[in-house]
Structure 1
Amino acid sequence: MPERQAPSVTVRFVPVLGGVELEFSSPHTTLRPTFNLSDTSRIAATRGVLRDGLRELKRLVVKHSDDERVRTEGLAEIAAQMGTTGRLMISTLCPPNARLLNQLQDFWRRAIRWNVPGRPVPVVEYVGHPEYVIPLEHMPFLDLSGCDRPTADPIRFIEQCRAFVGFSCVVRRKLLLDSPIPQCDELQPSEQGRIEMRFLRHSELKGATAEYVWLMSDGRDKVDVLGPFPAEGEKAADIAAQVFDPRWLPSGGRRAVPEQIQHFSCHCDTTTKDPLDYALQLRGATDVRVRVRDFKDHFTRLAGEGRSDMAMPMVVLNACGTSAADPVTATSFPRLFLENENRAVIGTEVAIPDRMAAAFSRKFYELLLLKGEPLGVAAYEAHDHMLTESRNPLGLAYSVYGNTELRIVNGVV
């Protein structure tokens, strides 16, 4: 397997007496901007700014788009919204000290050559506790004045979007969990040379149907899809059991090679006060609502029965339609799956319109399955494809947690 790409920038949350420090470092510069966050509520406040900003951005994108493609007349308004939200996030997270912010800008310009065509995509790595995850992708660290002159020119619009970390870098989140994530980088094909996948969906979502059709047609030579689920009579306990044991088969037997991907295309509700009641809403032969508390309950019960030592699959959470995903609490499901030892999770910071979620998914799987790109690069290039081909910045709402180096063993199957 290829060597892991070293990060060009590392962002750390370091516990200190009375709070935490936000520290930036890079092998390309001796500058090391550090901000003391005596009040860790800044992190939740920053994600709150993102929540409101993303909801407005989604409204503008839908207003000015035909299918997933954004019309030219909406670009200036969209750019203005992105720039304002990004800068407000930075000023909420970091003390608004002009000298320190200027030093931060200087650091990023030395650390990353972000506007040089043809250069390898740099990696930005976050290291810290899952409670302190910040949405780096949405911050214009590469140019604090990014989108300050909104434009309807498509080429200039795309150039302005490169100021945001997620449109110029692969973001790798290294969460400091009580149980470390296994570091097996290989998505292992079956003896038939295909990647095993479990597909769980809400059948009324047109995007879920489009994703399934693509996997069963264009992707059929690369992926073996089990599902869709839920099946007749299944309840929350059955879905949790399937996620817990990736060898599970409907017949009661077990796969020889555990499935490598578990894909959810469904509604996600994070609006309740208690995070344990956040839920995934599935619909197939039956309706199943699976809450965080259901997963935790059944994972613990099943752990008592034992689980063989195996590399757990990556999880794709494609929240779309009328889902209520909230950036303030968006780490709840990724953390749940990572604590289940799933090697990686890709999910959205906000509910994505159905057709746009399907478009992102198709491009992501084309890159991951057909071209053999590693997970982090596949997610980045899917963001980039939506931006450059459709002038649509909503791909940035997809975030990767865990092992971004996951890829099909030996590249393309």
Structure 2
Amino acid sequence: MPDRQAPSVTVRFVPILGGVELEFSSPHTTARPTFNLSDTSRITLTRKILRDGLRDLKSLVVKHFDGARVCNEGLPEIAALMGTTGRLMISTLCSQNPRLLNQLQDFWRRATRWDTPGHPIPVVEYVGQPEHVIPIEHMPFFDLSRCGRSTTDPDMFVEQCRAFVGFSCVVRRKLLLDSPIPQRDELRPSAQGRLQMRFLRHSKLKGADAEYSWLTSDGRDRVDVLGPFPAEGENAADIAAQIFDPRWLPDGARRSEPEQIQHFSCHCDTNTKDPLDYELQLRGEGADVRLRVGDLKDHFTRLAGDGRTDMAMPLIVLNACGTSAADPESATSFPRIFLENENRAVIGTEVAMPDRMAAAFSKKFYELLLLKGEPLGIAAHEARAHLLTEFRNPLGLAYSVYGNTELRIVNGVV
């Protein structure tokens, strides 16, 4: 197993009297930009800017999508919105002082080889409390002035998008939870040589059908898919039990080894003020399951009373609508509950992804993770880049990774 890649940039919130400091550091430069956030509501406001910006960006992408890719004539409007949203987030969170902003841009350029092909993709590591998570991927730290300039040239549009951290770096989030997330890096195939996966879906989504079809055809030599779930008659308690114990089998038996991935292709409803009421909406033959955050917390606590064998918990892939968005003050509701369940990593989306685009991201992501043996962080990063270069679609930035980005299949290259 390769050594864990050291971060080129670490973003850290440091508690101070009366608030927190946002600190940027790197082993590649002595500069250490630091910003005093005496009022942490600036974090919430930054996330609100992102939420509104992504909603408008999705509308523009859908408006200019021609069935295969974004039309060239739509690129100027899309680029302008991305640049404005990203810069507004930075000035809201950090500073509006021109000198300090120029120093911050200079720091990011010195800290990484962001524009040098052939070198390892830089890692940016966030360390802090869940309530302080900032959407680093969406911030154009590398080029504040030129990102968002009007262009109908797709190559120039793609190059401008590299100013955003998520298109040039792998972002690794280390949330400071009550117990640390296990750092076992191996996604371990079964004795038959295939990775065990549980597939949970909403049967009305065409994208869910496309994902399941790929996993059970192109991916069948690398993954053994259990499901789809929910099965007939299953309810929220049944699904929670499957998530809590990844050895679960429908007949009440248990696998000898836990599954390594739990994939959700479903709807998500976050249109409520109470984060406990955010819900994943699953549907199968004869089963309609609404899985609320509050339900998961209740069932996980109940099941913990019976104990659980020490095991490496699966990667959670939430390819659903708005799984990381929601209220800016509770943006990590779904990722956090899975990480507190000791799942080693979670992927979620910051905005409701159109069905076809979600399926395109998923296919490329699993090609890289399952067939090429890339680590989780690289697979997510390159799947974003695939949507951008092949479809001129920047919505891949909406996929956020929490937890261990070094997860990869043992002997993963076929």
Structure 2: distance between partners of 1:327 and 1:388? 31
Structure 2: distance between partners of 1:347 and 1:145? 30
Question: TM-score under structure 2 normalisation?
Answer: 0.98
Structure 2: distance between partners of 1:344 and 1:68? 31
1:333 is matched with 334
Structure 1: distance between partners of 2:178 and 2:31? 31
2:14 aligns to what SS in structure 1?
A: strand
Q: How does 1:2-401 map to 2 (within 5 A)?
A: 2-285=2-285, 286-320=287-321, 325-326=325-326, 328=328, 329-401=330-402
1:198 aligns to what SS in structure 2?
A: strand
Q: Deviations over 1:184-219 (max 9, x none)?
A: 000010011000000000000100110000001100
**Residues 207 and 357 of structure 1 are in contact (CA less than 8 Å); yes or no, is this contact kept in structure 2?**
yes
**Residues 67 and 355 of structure 1 are in contact (CA less than 8 Å); yes or no, is this contact kept in structure 2?**
no
1:69 aligns to what SS in structure 2?
A: coil
Amino acid at match of 1:383: R
Structure 2: distance between partners of 1:327 and 1:394? 19
Amino acid at match of 2:266: C
Q: How far 1:323 sits from its partner (Å)?
A: 8.2
2:127 aligns to what SS in structure 1?
A: strand
Q: How far 1:66 sits from its partner (Å)?
A: 2.3
Structure 2: distance between partners of 1:296 and 1:404? 25
Structure 2: distance between partners of 1:8 and 1:335? 25
How many pairs align? 412
**Residues 279 and 293 of structure 2 are in contact (CA less than 8 Å); yes or no, is this contact kept in structure 1?**
yes
Structure 2: distance between partners of 1:101 and 1:82? 18
Structure 1: distance between partners of 2:380 and 2:309? 30
Structure 1: distance between partners of 2:353 and 2:108? 30
Query: Identity of aligned pairs, percent?
Result: 81
Q: How far 1:99 sits from its partner (Å)?
A: 1.7
Detail structure 1 runs of 4+ shifted over 3 Å in the superposition. Answer: 322-325
Q: How far 1:67 sits from its partner (Å)?
A: 3.0
**Greater shift after overlay, 97-106 or 344-353?**
97-106
- Judging changes above 3 Å, is the alpha-carbon distance between structure 1 residues 378 and 100 closer, same or farther for their aligned structure 2 residues? same
Amino acid at match of 1:304: G
**Residues 83 and 140 of structure 1 are in contact (CA less than 8 Å); yes or no, is this contact kept in structure 2?**
yes
Q: Deviations over 1:141-190 (max 9, x none)?
A: 01111424221101100110000000000000011101110110000100
Q: How far 1:120 sits from its partner (Å)?
A: 1.5
Amino acid at match of 1:66: D
**Residues 324 and 348 of structure 2 are in contact (CA less than 8 Å); yes or no, is this contact kept in structure 1?**
no
Structure 1: distance between partners of 2:406 and 2:117? 23
Q: Which runs of 5+ in 1 are unaligned?
A: none
Amino acid at match of 1:349: E
Structure 2: distance between partners of 1:405 and 1:69? 31
**Residues 196 and 224 of structure 2 are in contact (CA less than 8 Å); yes or no, is this contact kept in structure 1?**
yes
Structure 2: distance between partners of 1:380 and 1:263? 18
Structure 1: distance between partners of 2:128 and 2:317? 22
Q: Deviations over 1:69-98 (max 9, x none)?
A: 111111111100100000011111112122
RMSD value over aligned CA atoms?
A: 1.2
**Greater shift after overlay, 66-75 or 162-171?**
66-75
- Judging changes above 3 Å, is the alpha-carbon distance between structure 1 residues 316 and 283 closer, same or farther for their aligned structure 2 residues? same
**Residues 68 and 355 of structure 1 are in contact (CA less than 8 Å); yes or no, is this contact kept in structure 2?**
no
**Residues 68 and 359 of structure 1 are in contact (CA less than 8 Å); yes or no, is this contact kept in structure 2?**
no
